[in-house]
Amino acid sequence: MGITHHVHGVENVQAIANLALLRGMVGRPNSGLLPIRGHSNVQGIGSVGVMPKLKQALFERMETHFGVKLPTGPGLDTLECLERADGGGLKVGACLGGNLYGASPESRFAARALGKLDLLVYLNTTLNTGHAHGLAEETLILPVLARDEEPRPTTQESMFNFIRLSDGGPARHEGPRGEVDILADLAQHVLDGGTPIDWSAMRDTSRIREALAAIVPGFEKIARIDRTKQEFAVSGRVLHEPRFPTASGRATLHTHTLPDLPGDDGSLRLMTVRSEGQFNTVVYEDYDLYRGQDRRDIILLHPMDVERLGLAENQRVTVRSEVGSLPGILVRPFAEIKAGNALMYYPEANVLVPRHADPLSKTPAFKSIVVTLEESPAAELPRAKSNGAPATSRVERKPLPSC
């Protein structure tokens, strides 16, 4: 994410690929590039067509398999959905898991946009900040079963291009249903038979996998995975021969002009990051093993910047960007960060992140945000520890667990 969370994120990826090509790291045995494609099935939903614009092969196969005519206009990416809602162009939203409010840049804008919807439906396994701050005129929160509680087998795609099977298991509580059941019911009631798709049958996840096998290239083995129990790598993605899918069969280099750094020579450029004890927007513990920090209401600066700005360790400051501010943030010297840069934790710092996005990937730029620091009011002092000692800036690094 440190590579893609920039307005030039795609260019960053292409530059890394260029370097590998120029160094001869591609096109020979036991070498190559292996992109880490995300987790939590983020890559899986893209593989099966959950994207603003379908690939042509998926589009044609879906129309043929289901006997439907699909709309040809482009869809909206996540940020565009929020902007459309903010402009009054959307009335209803449905969030399948996750925390749309908490994961979005410019938190005040995200709350305002969601607040303009007439109806917002959340399908979640647990409560999150979006259920308190991302509220529409009317909001429904429907508890659903987690993957390991599903009554029928489900699949997920790993970050390494591998399809895994989950057999499900017993539910923890009475009441919650599976997401598939809810979506199939919703489609059946809304469309009321006006479609050739048998939505009632789609409650059976094996029917969904059969459709995926027929529609998605490389997914042929998924049709019988619940019976064969044979997990598999998606075919057609790993290149085993020194030939690329281009007209010449050779790789193509992408050249770019280095982008100008935002701000001036004295500016601080903020990156927002996740901690070790965090999964997406869910924070399980305040302690950050990666950086040896014991709390999250902090900003990490190089010691030279702390001195240059006349600040002190554990001093409270207000951090400001072009779109928002966060008061009462503790200054922490951190030698591992390069001078001129700053670090704060996501999603708390999203209030500072503007809605700038990579024009190609449409990924918001959660990095390289110009910020300024101001001394917070004297009343905002660091909270004392339970023994009365002042809050410490750093705790001893624990060794990383062995694999």
User: In angstroms, rounded to a whole number, what is the distance separating the alpha carbons of residues 4 and 12?
Assistant: 7
Kindly report the CATH number assigned to the domain that includes residue 283: 2.40.40.20
Domain with residue 224: its CATH number is: 3.40.50.740
- What one-character-per-residue DSSP string does 205-224 give? HHHHHHHHHHHSTT-GGGGG
Is the pLDDT reported for residue 40 higher than 70?
A: no
Evaluate if residue 393 carries a pLDDT over 80: no
Give the pLDDT band of residue 318 (cuts 50, 70, 90): very high
Specify if 134 maps to a domain: yes
69-79: average pLDDT: 92
pLDDT at 39: 65
What rounded mean pLDDT belongs to the chain? 90
The predicted-structure confidence for 252-268, as pLDDT tens digits, reads as follows 999 999 988 888 888 99
Q: Give the largest Cα separation in the chain, rounded.
A: 70
More confident residue, 157 or 193: 157
Q: Are residues 274 and 334 in the same domain?
A: yes
Q: What is the pLDDT of residue 104?
A: 97
Same domain, 222 and 290: no
Same domain, 354 and 216: no
Q: Identify whether residues 275 and 172 lie together within a single domain.
A: no
Residue 399, preceding bond cis, omega within 30 degrees? no
Kindly report, residue by residue over 281-313, the tens digit of the pLDDT: 999 999 999 999 999 999 999 999 999 999 999
Question: Is 34 a residue whose pLDDT tops 90?
Answer: no
Domain count across the chain: 2
Question: Residue 272: pLDDT above 80?
Answer: yes
What values do phi and psi take at 394, rounded to 5?
-155, 140
- Tokens representing 136 are 């529409």
Whether residues 229 and 327 fall in one domain? no
Q: In this structure, is residue 387 part of a structural domain?
A: no
Residue with tokens 């399948």, as numbered in its chain: 96
Question: Contact, 94 vs 121, CB < 8 A?
Answer: yes
Q: Looking at residue 183, what is its pLDDT?
A: 95
Domain containing residue 145: 35-233
**Same domain as 287, residue 147:** no
Is position 184 within any domain?
A: yes
H helices then E strands: how many in the chain?
Answer: 11, 14
Which two three-digit tokens encode residue 176?
A: 């919650």
Per-residue pLDDT at 78 exceeds 60? yes
Over residues 115-128, mean pLDDT: 96
68 part of a folded domain: yes
Residue 251 inside a domain? The answer is no
Please indicate, yes or no, whether residues 228 and 272 belong to a single structural domain of this protein. no
Same-domain status, 217 and 276: no
The answer to whether position 62 is within a domain reads yes
Amino acid identity at 317: V
* Residue 395, domain member (yes or no): no
**Residue 351, pLDDT above cutoff 60:** yes
Of 233, 249, 278, the position where a domain reaches its end is 233
pLDDT per residue over 46-67, tens digit each? Answer: 889 888 889 999 999 999 999 9
Look at residue 394 and tell me whether its pLDDT is greater than 70: no
What residues have CB less than 8 Å from 268, skipping those under 6 apart?
301, 305, 340, 341, 342, 370, 371, 372, 373
Q: How many other CB atoms are there within 10 angstroms of residue 258's CB atom?
A: 8
> Which DSSP symbol is given to 258?
P
**The pair of three-digit structure tokens given for residue 235, joined into one six-digit string:** 């075919």
How would residue 397 be classed by pLDDT, with cut points 50, 70 and 90?
very low
Phi, psi of 229 (to 5 degrees): 60, 20
Q: What is the pLDDT of residues 105-114, one digit of tens each?
A: 999 999 999 9
Judged against a pLDDT cut of 90, whether residue 241 lies above it is answered with: no
Q: Are residues 71 and 203 in the same domain?
A: yes
Strand pairing class (282-283; 154-157): unpaired
Same domain, 52 and 128: yes
Give me the helix-helix angle, 78-86 and 107-115, nearest 10°. Answer: 60
164, β-bridge pairs: 156
Q: What is the pLDDT of residue 400?
A: 38
18 belongs to a structural domain: no
Task: Tell me which of 212, 233, 254 is where a domain ends.
Answer: 233
Let me know if 123 is exposed, middle or buried by CB neighbors in 10 A (0-12, 13-18, 19+): buried
Report pTM. Answer: 0.88
Q: How many CB atoms within 10 Å of residue 190?
A: 10
Percent over 90 (pLDDT), the chain = 72
Residue positions counted in the chain: 403
CA-CA distance, 347 to 98, in Å (whole number)?
A: 13
Query: What is the Cα–Cα distance from 71 to 59, expressed in whole angstroms?
Result: 10
Are 313 and 368 found together in one domain? Answer: yes
Residues 215 and 331 in one domain: no
